[in-house]
């Protein structure tokens, strides 16, 4: 087994030689004996001893305490202080550098041996602790969740940093701060109230939303009291879990259920004996609510003239300043006209630059976003739904909803037109029968005359 290698830093040559000889007698190897802090740093980097005996008061621009601090931070070599001074001020300053022991001169060989062995053991344990912390940190940072701890003042003591960047945060933003300093007053209060309950011994789980430059995140935090070996609460252990994907799926399912309920409700209303104008109004109302559209119209093709009739257009005329406004269109223009002419749907969140657009007339409401679908029955165009200016950009899901509504509109429209055709036919037959009966009555009357 190799001998422990020790470097001596002492500016009194006689004392330095004596310490060196005593070390050799105790079974240690003396790598160097130097008299200044600068030389100690240089030799420590070159020879890498196992431990350094450092006199606090030495020659040079830096004293032993400063030299020891630099050596430990740069080379991780444990330092034991040698000093003839035992005043509180000197000892307190030495303590702040995290020494691995100190011994007051003069000292016995037994004291010297003990302080060296204790210093080496302490350094070994410190190294193992740091390795353990590094492994723990690596494990924590490899997790998808963010783990943090708080002290009694609800300040962040630690937080796993590997996942913070994803959410636009840094470790520095958290450490030593309370929730309000990090998240602001409103969101900070939510966290603070939960932290307070956890410090009282409660297990807490709550959801919250974080909006950062990197996106909108749905998060869930779980809190547990952090206890010492005696069971006393010393802080809080928290886990932040990203539930964005789960939340988006839940929201999508909820939205789909809402749409299906709305479709079922609309279908039930369309079964009732109502006019084409009322059918159009109902469809437009549901379309605007589901898609969040500000404007829109529903129109049908008059089977006799093949003109488009859009009685629902009157709902936006008060905000539209186009001259010669009318609900009947003999020609189909713009994006809505493209839908009718091509029997295809349109979705654009940039109508101004859409190649299918021919612009809008002077005084027309500004169209910022647009979605439209044709209503087709038995491969025949019977109408259209056109919507504009939703709060958010239109999505393909919005387009699918509009197409489903257009199908409902086509069915209701065809049914109503068929009913009207039957009623007209019945009215025509009634008139023919009445006319026939009148003729028969007149003929019989003539026959019966003497």
* Per-residue pLDDT tens digits for 206-248: 999 988 888 888 999 999 998 888 889 999 989 888 888 888 8
pLDDT over 90 percentage in the chain: 38
Calpha distance 402→383 (Å, rounded): 13
Q: How many domains in the chain?
A: 3
Highest mean pLDDT among 26-40, 245-259, 436-450: 26-40
So what's the pLDDT on residue 140?
54
* Per-residue pLDDT tens digits for 281-334: 999 999 999 999 999 999 999 888 989 888 887 555 455 545 555 678 888 888
Backbone dihedral angles phi then psi of residue 204, each to the nearest 5 degrees: -125, 135
Residue 328 lies in a domain: yes
More confident residue, 97 or 238: 238
Domain with 198 in it: what CATH number? 3.30.450.20
Is 60 exceeded by the pLDDT of residue 1?
no
Q: Give residue 126's domain range.
A: 5-139
Burial readout 80-114 (b: 16 or more C-beta within 10 A, e: otherwise): bbbbeeeeeebbeebeebebbbbbeeeeeeeebbe
So what's the pLDDT on residue 168?
78
173 and 299 housed in the same domain: no
Is 60 exceeded by the pLDDT of residue 112?
yes
Residue 313 lies in a domain: yes
Could you tell me the pLDDT band of residue 439, with boundaries at 50, 70 and 90?
Answer: low
So what's the pLDDT on residue 343?
93
Do the beta carbons of residue 112 and residue 103 sit within 8 Å?
yes
Asked whether the whole model's pTM tops 0.85, one would answer: no
Residue 283 lies in a domain: yes
More confident residue, 45 or 438: 45
229 and 254 housed in the same domain: no
Q: Which two tokens stand for residue 265?
A: 């409700």
34 and 111 housed in the same domain: yes
Closest CA to 313 of 300, 330, 331: 300
* Per-residue pLDDT tens digits for 27-68: 999 999 998 989 999 999 999 999 999 998 888 888 888 898
Mean pLDDT, the chain, whole residue set: 84
107 and 153 housed in the same domain: no
So what's the pLDDT on residue 330?
84
Residue 220 lies in a domain: yes
Residue 230 lies in a domain: yes
Is 80 exceeded by the pLDDT of residue 436?
no
So what's the pLDDT on residue 324?
55
């Amino acid at each position: 087994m190799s001998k422990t290698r020790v470097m001596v830093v002492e500016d009194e040559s006689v004392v330095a030689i004596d310490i060196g000889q005593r070390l050799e007698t105790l079974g240690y190897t003396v790598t160097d004996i130097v008299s200044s802090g600068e030389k100690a740093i240089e030799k420590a980097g070159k020879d890498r001893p196992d431990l350094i005996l450092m006199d606090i008061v030495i020659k040079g621009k830096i004293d032993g305490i400063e030299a020891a601090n630099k050596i430990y931070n740069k080379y991780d070599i444990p330092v034991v202080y040698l000093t003839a001074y035992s005043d509180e001020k000197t000892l307190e300053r030495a303590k702040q550098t995290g020494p691995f022991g100190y011994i007051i001169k003069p000292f016995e060989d037994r004291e010297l041996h003990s302080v060296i062995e204790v210093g080496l053991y302490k350094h070994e344990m410190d190294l193992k602790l740091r390795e353990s912390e590094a492994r723990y940190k690596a494990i924590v940072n490899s997790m998808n969740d963010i783990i943090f701890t708080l002290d009694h003042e609800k300040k962040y003591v630690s937080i796993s940093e590997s996942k913070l960047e994803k959410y636009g945060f840094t470790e520095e933003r958290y450490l030593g701060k309370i929730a309000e300093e990090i998240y602001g007053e409103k969101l900070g209060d939510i966290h603070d109230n939960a932290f307070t309950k956890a410090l009282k011994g409660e297990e807490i789980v709550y959801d919250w939303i974080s909006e950062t430059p990197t996106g909108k995140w749905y998060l869930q935090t779980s809190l547990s009291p952090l206890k010492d070996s005696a069971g006393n609460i010393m802080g809080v252990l928290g886990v932040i879990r990203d539930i964005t994907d789960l939340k988006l799926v839940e929201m999508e399912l909820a939205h789909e259920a809402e749409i299906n309920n709305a479709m079922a409700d609309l279908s039930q209303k369309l079964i009732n004996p109502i006019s084409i104008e009322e059918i159009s109004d109902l469809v437009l109302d549901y379309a605007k609510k589901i898609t969040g559209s500000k404007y829109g119209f529903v129109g049908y093709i008059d089977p006799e003239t093949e003109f488009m009739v859009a009685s629902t257009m009157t709902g936006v005329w008060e905000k539209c300043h186009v001259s010669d406004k009318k609900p009947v269109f003999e020609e189909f223009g713009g994006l809505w006209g493209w839908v009718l002419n091509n029997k295809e749907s349109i979705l654009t969140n940039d109508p101004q630059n859409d190649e299918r657009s021919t612009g809008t007339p002077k005084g027309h409401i500004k169209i910022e976003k647009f979605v439209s679908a044709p209503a087709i029955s038995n491969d025949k165009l019977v109408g259209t739904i056109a919507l504009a200016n939703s709060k958010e950009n239109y999505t393909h899901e919005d387009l699918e909803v509009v197409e489903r509504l257009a199908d409902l509109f086509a069915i209701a429209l065809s049914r109503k037109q068929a009913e009207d055709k039957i009623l007209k036919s019945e009215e025509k037959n009634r008139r023919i029968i009445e006319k026939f009966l009148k003729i028969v009555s007149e003929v019989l009357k003539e026959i019966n005359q003497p």
